[in-house]
Structure 1
Amino acid sequence: MPSAGLSPRRAVQLAALLALAVFYTAQLAGALLPNVPVFLTASLAGLALDLYLTHRQPGLLALLGKVRFDVTTRQLLRDMLIVIGLVRIPDVPPDIERPLTLLLLLAYAAHFLCQAVAQLVRRTRTLPVVTRNIDASALRLTDAPSRLLARQPSRRLLRFSIPGTVGLMLSAGLSQQEWGLVGISCTFLLSLGSAVYLGTWLLPKKRSRSEHEVMVWLDKWLAAYKPTVGMYFSGGTTSAYQANMWLSTLAELDGRPLIVLRERFMVQKIDATDIPIVCIPKVAHLMHLEHSTLKVLLHPANSGKTSQVLRIPTLKHAFINHGESDKLSSCNPYAKAYDQVWVAGEAARERYALAEVGVDDKDVVEVGRPQLTPIQHADERAAAPASDYTTVLYAPTWEGWDGNPGNTSVPLAGEHIVAALLADPKVRLLYKPHPMTGSVDPRAGAADQRIRAMITQANVERGAGRRDPRATAELERRTAVLDEATTTAFRASADEMERMKSQGTPQKGNAERVREATEAWEAAYWASFPDSEHQIVTGPRPAIFSCFNQADLLISDVSSVVSDYLSSEKPYAVANTSGMTEEEFRHAFPTVRAGTVLTPDAQQIPALLESVRDAGKDTLAGARKELKTRLLGPSEPPSLARFNAAALELADETEARNVRVARRTAEIPGQREAEEAAEEAEMEAPGGASDPEDAVTQ
């Protein structure tokens, strides 16, 4: 049994390593003694274990690969021990090792040939750009070869080795060399045939267009589509939400929108949208945007690759961020690299001024938060059917990179907050931690796990979990509908090119269908749980805005979650784990001023819950309404209208700038020609310099 400090996954990995060592040792012992039953059992068990590892333990395989004990090395060692065993077993015909060894070498040569062809095929199928929602039929895109042959050399080697290993074991057990020859011949032919089959993807009919041809095609598409405003995004695997929150806003802007990505994997991370998507990994290819009609790029996040697109002089850039937080650390000095910084309201403008990161006030534009439209107002929540429970959403942020203890309440206050809420029999708790919780500080991750355990135990004690079968069935049906709407069905072997081919011109109105399916799923999701059941909400579904609409009260940290929730004007509280006094905390962070401040021991929660249940005791309603305007801007004109106007104005500035530069550029060649003519005349004049070096000295 594994020790208390050993996770089940680690225990399985250690057991697999031990078994691997035992099988190799037993195989060697069986070969040298010789002991045929031990030899046969260990050889076949070792191959079976390797097959299991390739399918179930990729992490362990990666670790073995780092110490140069990869699949190829393990199979070579296994085959070498098999040959030794055949030589040592008395009943096996003499000199059997010579033809078998030669055939084994040919089989490995065929394997490496197949691997070389597979690598070449993968390279030819890696295009300089990846697109979605764009008709790329002119590029003659083709379906991918089998994933086993093209992208899984380890699995291919082990599977193709099965006939050879079985044949050799039959030779050892039956003392007949023919079985080994037949088995290894099958292994050889499988690898050689696969190499020939993969080679057909290098023929003109299946071969993709060259890099130059693809870029010419992209230029032509850009010229035909004529994009005007785009969203530029680069980030890691968990950061796609930062771009996805802006999709609906981008789709509503005047002009022709475009999404520009830099990481290939991100193409499939972007939610359903009708907007054309183009991924351009290389800087040299990114520069093709300079010659397009694109005028404005919107940036929801900073990244190292952002500086590369900022080099394009024909574009104007606006930083729109993926959330508005009161923390001065969120006012990144990188923001001064953009032409404009778009913020929700007056508070953010002041925040940049206080941060003194080099952003001029004239470059800050207040546009509101157009994506907050789905958040219901407090009046809508009040009009909903009454519940016996007060729903509280605890949505802490993560610990951040700077080590500030005030960034997240999870390690210092989280357990106290949750304990106080669970102690109230009329509270229904929704716990939605930030997806990056614990990624920097292990203490935050450990506290998060303890909080989840507390909630699970509270549900057991409350007797929650008895769900309506009809509601559960409806949720399953809605889940299937949403999955069908949001998931593009790809073959298991589909690669980047094949996905690009199948995701050409989208079905019109697909984004609207996904929106409707999402709303129906969220309604079914919340209806599937009894009002008394606490929830731990992780993953992309349900989204944070849907949780907002369920909540009567939000408890969070200083983050954009508070600013967004404030649009509902419902009560909220902010945990203060910064070490500041309450007065200092409220002064430092404007979003806190219309909410309740919680100390790390969360002693304010009983009174807070009472004020939520009794509107007469809610003394902050007016302050929330006033602060909403200050943080998110006025209700009129609507945020989307202000956002669209800002985009059009910045596009006009881009156009005016490009016209001015084009005029100056047109004048420069003439000036150069005049200067060259003057220099030539001077050279030809009497006493003029006849040598460039003489001209310099003169």
Structure 2
Amino acid sequence: MSASPLPARLRTAAARLLLPTVIVLSFAGQAVGAFLPSVPLLVAATAVGLAADIALHRWQRKTVAKFGRLHATVTVRQVVRDLLLVIGLVRLEDKSHETRYLAFVCGLLVFYGLHFACRAVAILVRRTRTLPVLTRNIDASALRLSPALPALLTHRTGQRLLVFSLPSTAGLLATAVTGSAWWAVAGIALSAALAVVSVAMLLLRLLPGRRPVTSEQALEWFEEWLTEYRPTVGMYFSGGTSSAYQANMWLEPLAKLEGRPLIVLRERFMVKHITSTDIPIVCLPKVADLMRLEHSTLKMLIHPSNSGKTSQVLRIPTIKHAFVNHGESDKLSSCNPYAKAYDEVWVAGPAARERYALADVGIEDKDIVEIGRPQLDAITPYAGAPAGPYTTVLYAPTWEGWDGNPGNTSIIEAGENIVRTLLADPLVRLLYKPHPLTGSVVPQAGAANLRIQEMIRAANAARAAERTDGRPAPAAAAELARTTAELERLTTSSFRANADDTERMLLQTTPEPGRAEAVAAATAAWESAYWASFPAWEHQIVTGARPNVYACFNAADLLLSDVSSVISDYLASEKPYAVTNTSGLLEQDFREAFPTVRAGAVLTPDASGIPALLESVRDPAKDTYVEARAELKRHLLGPSDPPSVVRFNEAARALCTKADAHRAAMAVRTLSAIPTQPDVRSALDDRQLKS
């Protein structure tokens, strides 16, 4: 049974190899066509090879990089393509006409020279437009930012060469077919003209009046903005694109804090991966520029994750730091000794406090603050048995982790058994949401993930063939399209795919009034339209950013997962859940080792307990964990009164007070260390009062 998805994997691998294979074969075809010579073969091989190369740059950029590592760069490929084409033309003519093709070669050399000139000038333009600070939701008009040139001119060097080579290649092919040299002359001249125009457009951006401000001027502007905005609370984040969700889950709680919030990023690419928010965002890639925050009014930063660059911001003595994590679980990663570097560790409830004490990683109890999980306010509470004929089961396995522990994820040993058992129940609707990092460390996890998705698609196809009930009206699909377009307009329309850093600053200047409320309303409308857009019996594979895991919580009657923060968050609903034990421990030992398991069922890798579990969900009288879930919720997430949002704000206010006290103490120490001349001390006293 597990081997059935194999053809799909083979199709995927074949699709990845198709374009590279076509390119290699096209060169072989060109060589044969040039030396025979054969005009049809030469023309066909050249045209197919160039088209495949353009498609490769459009859809398989990783493969382009692999060609580069083999020293078969796009320039080398195009030069060989043109060389074979010229050789074919020479062999098609008698020797008395060979000299005229010297002009073609010279014209191509001029074109390639212009290509390299364009590439060099593009680098200069990118450097002048790469400012030391990147912003969103801030009026950056003072930086004299102009819209970016098309990415084909500034960034996509390989695509530019291939596109600009189209006229010259077409002209040479036309000459091969017709025998008229004027086609080649015209084509090469047009390619060279395109390169000249590109160089001219790029050179215009280097004129003094067309450049943005200098780096020093940009930093001066940034310091002036800090002085005017006077931020007090903020979030610091550094990571890759796949970890952006860790920051995004804290945007709404951060926006509700008292004071003036700020988001500090370190990677330029991350700016566009932060979802729609009204909070000002600054990206400071260099450590020296990051240190300018020391003299700002920023008092505290929350940290959703640890990264190599976190230690850099922790050096700023005027800012207090709180580690909030992006989720809490019983895994060792939730008690990382790195947390000692922060001033405080903010956790959801008593369970995390106990977890740190048992881990004995050097975190003092006085530095732990319980704030609950303010993100979970949108989760709907348990309402008993499933309302409709179908039981919606959310299977959300976590990823394999960095430590190689086989018990981290169930997807390798148990995932296919779990999904197969669920799909066999005619009254189950499955929502499958794997962790975004699944397969990033252990290839077997990624392969199992693909097999599971193929199983779900096959099950949907089988159900669709035998059922006609529950199909939504055509208006449902139209409503989903409408809400999707509206949500995209509000969240991503400010970014263009080919925009560079400075243009993104220009496009994301100040937020639209009420945009945060509009985004929240549009998101709710989209979620409602999404669930209504497919039949009630149709299984769903959820791998994108929407719907998020909390929306899946609200749609589910039962959660199946691993030892992860998903369990802790899901308990906010008090709905039934089960945890898969792939650790090799006996069930009793497994429950003792991982307290979050104690209010749910434990599944073995063969998934044999799922039928009984489904029966207890459909008949609440058989659910023996109701009280245990309520108690565990309080233990994991803390009390419901005061609300988590309130506790989060109180913790932030208290940490800001500590920051104020620390700054005052630093000022006193500074004053006591200077000479006692009245004029010097008076000037410093005035400066301290102003700050």
Q: TM-score, normalised by structure 1?
A: 0.91
Partner of 2:196: 192
* Residues 1:374 and 1:5: Cα distance change in structure 2 (over 3 Å): closer
The worse-fitting range, judged by mean Cα deviation, of 453-462 and 635-644 is 453-462
CA distance in 2, matches of 1:556, 1:37: 59
Cα distance change on mapping 1:525 and 1:193 into 2, 3 Å: closer
CA distance in 2, matches of 1:157, 1:477: 39
Aligned-partner Cα distance in 2 for 1:454–1:57:
27
Match of 1:410 in 2: 411
Q: CA deviation at 1:298?
A: 0.3
**Counterpart of 1:73?**
76
CA distance in 2, matches of 1:496, 1:638: 40
Note the C-alpha offset of 1:36.
4.7
For residues 618 and 34 of structure 1, do their structure 2 counterparts lie closer, same or farther at Cα, with a shift above 3 Å needed? closer
Letter paired with 2:631: E
**How far off is 1:474 after superposition?**
2.2
1:591 aligns with 2:596: yes
Deviation string, structure 1 residues 555-608 (Cα, Å, up to 9, x no partner)? 211111111111111222211221222222222212112222222233332332
Cα distance 1:325–1:671, how it changes in 2: closer, same or farther (>3 A)?
farther
Q: Show CA shifts across 1:146-197 (max 9, x none).
A: 2222222222222222332333344455555444333322222221221012
Report whether the alignment pairs 1:141 with 2:145: yes
2:185 paired residue among 181, 188, 202: 181
How far the C-alpha of 1:554 sits from its partner, in A, is 1.6
Change (3 A) 1:451 1:31: closer
Alignment of 1:132-531 (within 5 A): 132-378=136-382, 381-382=383-384, 386-462=387-463, 463-464=466-467, 466-531=471-536
Distance 1:8 1:635, change over 3 A: same
Identity, in percent, stands at 60
Match for 1:661 among 660, 666, 681? 666
Q: Which amino acid aligns with 1:371?
A: Q
Q: Is the 8 A contact 2:527 2:551 kept in 1?
A: yes
Q: Which moved more, 1:388-397 or 1:609-618?
A: 609-618
User: Superposition pairs for residues 657-696 of structure 1, below 5 Å?
Assistant: 657-670=662-675
Aligned-partner Cα distance in 2 for 1:617–1:385: 14
1:404 offset after TM fit, Å? Answer: 1.3
Secondary structure (helix, strand or coil) at the match of 1:63 reads helix
Unaligned runs of 5+ in 1: 674-698
With over 3 angstroms needed to count, the CA separation of the structure-2 counterparts of 1:422 and 1:193, relative to structure 1, is: closer
Residue 84 (1) aligns with residue 87 (2):
yes
Q: Which moved more, 1:260-269 or 1:623-632?
A: 623-632
Please say which of residues 653-662 and 485-494 is displaced more in the overlay.
Answer: 485-494
Change (3 A) 1:500 1:563: same
C-alpha contact 1:409 1:575 (8 A) present in aligned 2: yes
- Change beyond 3 A, Cα 1:46–1:519: closer
Q: For residues 559 and 14 of structure 1, what CA distance do their matches in structure 2 show?
A: 37
Deviations 1:79-114 (A, max 9, x none): 333443444443463422443333322222111111
Residues 642, 17 of structure 1: alpha-carbon distance in 2 compared, 3 angstrom cutoff:
closer
Shift of 1:320: 0.2
Aligned partner of residue 670 in structure 1, secondary structure = coil
Deviates more, 1:571-580 or 1:302-311: 571-580
Moved more, 587-596 or 154-163: 154-163
Residue 97 to residue 425, structure 1, CA distance change in 2 (3 Å): closer
User: Does the aligned pair in 1 maintain the 2:8–2:454 contact within 8 Å?
Assistant: no
Moved more, 198-207 or 3-12: 3-12
The answer for the alignment partner of 2:686 in structure 1 is none
Q: 1:634: how far off?
A: 0.9
**Residue 537 to residue 35, structure 1, CA distance change in 2 (3 Å):** closer
Confirm or deny: 8 A CA contact 1:113 1:192 kept in the other structure: no
- Measured after TM superposition, the shift of residue 489 of structure 1 is 4.6
For the Cα contact (< 8 Å) 2:386–2:557, is it kept in 1? no
Counterpart contact for 1:86–1:96, Cα < 8 Å: no
Instruction: Specify the SS of the correspondent of 1:7.
Output: helix
**Could you tell me how far apart the structure 2 residues matched to 1:413 and 1:593 are?**
20
Cα distance in 2 for residues equivalent to 1:331 and 1:672? 51
2:272 and 2:495 in contact (8 A); partners too: no
Q: Aligned partners of 1:211, 1:29: CA distance in 2, in Å?
A: 55
In structure 2, how many angstroms separate the alpha carbons of the residues matched to 1:41 and 1:596? 63
Q: In the TM superposition, what whole-angstrom CA distance separates every residue of 1:366-405 from its partner, at most 9, and x where no partner exists?
A: 1111111001111xx34x9931222222222111111112
**Match in the other structure for 2:10:** 7
Instruction: Answer yes or no: is the 8 Å Cα contact 1:328–1:351 preserved in 2.
Output: no
Q: For 1:99, which of 82, 97, 103 is the aligned residue?
A: 103
Measure, in 1, the Cα distance between the counterparts of 2:423 and 2:154. Answer: 53
Residue 114 of structure 1 corresponds to which residue in structure 2? 118
- More displaced, 23-32 or 619-628? 23-32
Given that 2:143 and 2:213 are in contact with CA atoms closer than 8 Å, whether structure 1 keeps it comes out as: yes
2-structure distance, mates of 1:476, 1:167: 44
Counterpart amino acid of residue 543 in structure 1: N
Contact 1:464 1:532 in 2 (8 A): no
Q: 1:423 to 1:79 in 2, by over 3 A?
A: closer
Shift of 1:17: 4.0
* Alpha-carbon spacing, 1:518–1:19, altered in 2? closer, same or farther (3 Å): closer
Partner Cα distance (1:232, 1:122) in 2: 27
Taking a change above 3 Å as real, the CA distance of residues 450 and 93 of structure 1, as seen in their structure-2 partners, is closer
Q: Distance in 1 between matches of 2:258 and 2:292?
A: 23
Looking at structure 2, the residues matched to 125 and 194 of structure 1 have their Cα atoms a distance apart, in angstroms, of 17
SS of the counterpart of 2:675? helix
Residue 58 of structure 1, aligned match among 56, 61, 66:
61
Quote the Cα distance in structure 2 between the aligned partners of 1:232 and 1:173: 63
In 1, Cα distance between the equivalents of 2:495 and 2:182?
Answer: 43
Q: Tell me how far apart the structure 2 counterparts of residues 542 and 4 of structure 1 sit (CA, whole Å).
A: 29
Note the alpha carbon deviations across 1:525-579, whole angstroms, 9 max, x for none. Answer: 2222333222222211111111111222222111111111111112222112212
Equivalent residue letter for 2:265: L
Instruction: For 1:604 and 1:27, locate their aligned partners in 2 and report how far apart those are by CA, in whole Å.
Output: 62
User: Aligned partners of 2:59, 2:158: CA distance in 1, in Å?
Assistant: 13
Structure 1 position 47 matched with structure 2 position 50: yes
Give the 3 Å change call, closer, same or farther, for CA 156–537 of structure 1 in structure 2.
Answer: closer
Single out whichever of 640-649 and 485-494 deviates more from structure 2. Answer: 485-494
Question: Whole-Å Cα distance in 1 between the matches of residues 636 and 555 of structure 2?
Answer: 23
- CA drift at 1:672: 13
How much has 1:243 moved relative to structure 2?
0.6
Larger Rg: 1
What is the rounded CA distance, in whole Å, between the counterparts of 1:539 and 1:545 in structure 2? 13
Counterpart for residue 586 of structure 2: 581
CA distance in 2, matches of 1:39, 1:609: 65
Distance 1:553 1:217, change over 3 A: same
Corresponding residue for 1:543?
548
- In structure 2, give the amino acid aligned to 1:576: N
Unaligned runs of 5+ in 2: 1-5, 679-691
Residue of structure 1 equivalent to 2:625 = 620
Q: Which amino acid aligns with 1:406?
A: G
The two structures have a TM-score, normalised by structure 2, of: 0.91
Compared with structure 1, are the counterparts of its residues 192 and 583 closer, same or farther at alpha carbon in structure 2 (3 Å cutoff)? same
Per the alignment, residue 609 of structure 2 pairs with 604
1:606-640 alpha-carbon deviations (Å, 9 max, x no partner) = 33223222333222222211111111111111111
Q: What SS does the corresponding residue of 2:516 show, helix, strand or coil?
A: helix
